[in-house]
Structure 1
């Protein structure tokens, strides 16, 4: 996989997206009906198991290899003071990831995911979205491709996270642009800004929208103009996962905003995705509802990095294990319903 060499290559990827295996889904449902429990008694775990079966193409799926990727990028708009932290923290946190000292390191270890970090900060910050497109076409394609090429074809479940000081600002701008609304509906406190900084952040997003909205005519242009390298990379990774039939756990507000331009480009684009959690970022629940994603967890988290998705992995593992390992009524010599 060489990524997306041209804008047309990115758009062409939407034309031949695989669907879940209908026969595997039917077989998984039939198996669920024979397991030693009342029908539906494991609730959403049963739905998750059937979902994974459909994408793996087998009635008894496995979950031996979970991949986690964190993408890092810098934002020109961060210089406007839209975050409680300075821009240099992005690079410092990449070093922390690589040293194994961040929350995502601990949580991927806990959930048994294989973690890699894709550092896009060497390319420098994106342009200030209040004054110019975040990236030119070549840089956006490079970021999308970095995401696509990071996906392991052998993975059975993927989640992506991010690090980029100031990135709730472009994420909010992407959402507001996608739904034809203003900053007030989408801008939250991010890393914990105070009231004055929140007002400034909203004004910054409105300024960016005034500059770009009329030109955001498709998903690529929206990501190019309003996104960031790590945001585009997450979108590229999720799109590539769909091509490879790999289910995806969508993390928090930034991750959901990253896939919004994909979803708006194709109504079925997120059929291979589950929402891992609802974050404490105010607009995240609203965004998930608009995307038709029902979160598995709601723990008041707002860190990013893929941490919420890491916590949801054990739920998916449990769903798959229960579905694939339980005995049927016949196997256990247990009497089924009369």
Structure 2
């Protein structure tokens, strides 16, 4: 996956202030990078368990040296980018993803506060430690990605809520006179839009920032190293805009686990995937399936770039899974 080109598309949509749509792409990049980080962590643990024994206490120096080598190898294999380039993409992906959440009332509602706080903390540390070579090992202090069969299952927080908030306040002071002071403004915007403008977290960072205006429009420009193809970006934006009612499908797909869901939950989820409403019959289910599978076929977006073909393939997979369950459940 070419995450640089994919982020170019997201940035174009983001600059149009279509935060909900841009979020989908940023979240896809975010998930892919975290998956790679999880594989790096798994590789290290496999190495220590196999050669050093299960009782071996993780040595920071050894882990750093190991991670530097394995990180570059995995990042180049997945993205054809080295660790430093991935760091750049990760920083701007997290920052813009957080801005999307902060400026969208809908995203504010569906995204957990805990995950937002954690991402802000990780972002603060990545930008203030810009000379840190082993940045992968550094962020693993804050969170642990759980990856199984090359899929990111969840991101586990390693810190308490009070510890995260304390560090957010401390880091905001360190960033106030840097190029990344906009992160402080973004935190305040998020808290304000969540109706949390009297907490210790808000008032402390507000004191650091000083005069603050809600929903600032002057944001730090992203530093993509790839050239922008504006024609394809516009076509990509049009594609997402026209399919706005499906904008969170990939996001919810990551959160839905069919192995744990009840039949009621599956019926509700898969019915939503197929767009079922009103009186539902076997012929109606089949009709909706055929309409959607034709609409989202990867060939429909072949000229929008490899990345959007991948997204179309994910949507097609989701539709097929929904129909397969419906067929078995209702003997279609």
TM bucket normalised to smaller: under 0.3
TM-score by length of 1: 0.26
Q: Name which structure has the greater RCO, CA cutoff 8 Å, separation 6+.
A: 1
Q: Choose between structure 1 and 2: higher strand proportion.
A: 1
TM-score normalized by the length of structure 2: 0.26
Which protein is richer in helix relative to its size? Answer: 2
